[in-house]
Amino acid sequence: MTIYEILEKLNIIYQEIEEQAVYTVEEAKKIQKRIEGIGCKNLFLTNKKGKYYLVILEKNKKANIKEIKKLINQSHLSLASNSELNQILNLEQGSVTPFGIIYDNENKVELILDKDLKNKKLLFHPSINTKTISIQFQDLIKFIEYEKHNYIYKMI
Residue-wise pLDDT for 34-81, tens only, equals: 788 998 999 999 998 889 999 999 988 988 889 999 999 998 999 999
Which domains are seen in the chain, by residue range? 3-154 (3.90.960.10)
Residue-wise pLDDT for 83-117, tens only, equals: 999 999 999 888 899 999 999 999 999 999 999 99
| 3-state secondary structure string across the chain | CCHHHHHHHCCCCCEEEECCCCCCHHHHHHHHHCCCCEEEEEEEEECCCCCEEEEEEECCCCCCHHHHHHHCCCCCCEECCHHHHHHHHCCCCCCCCHHHHHHCCCCCEEEEEEHHHCCCEEEECCCCCCEEEEEEHHHHHHHHHHCCCCEEEECC
Single pTM value for the model:
0.90
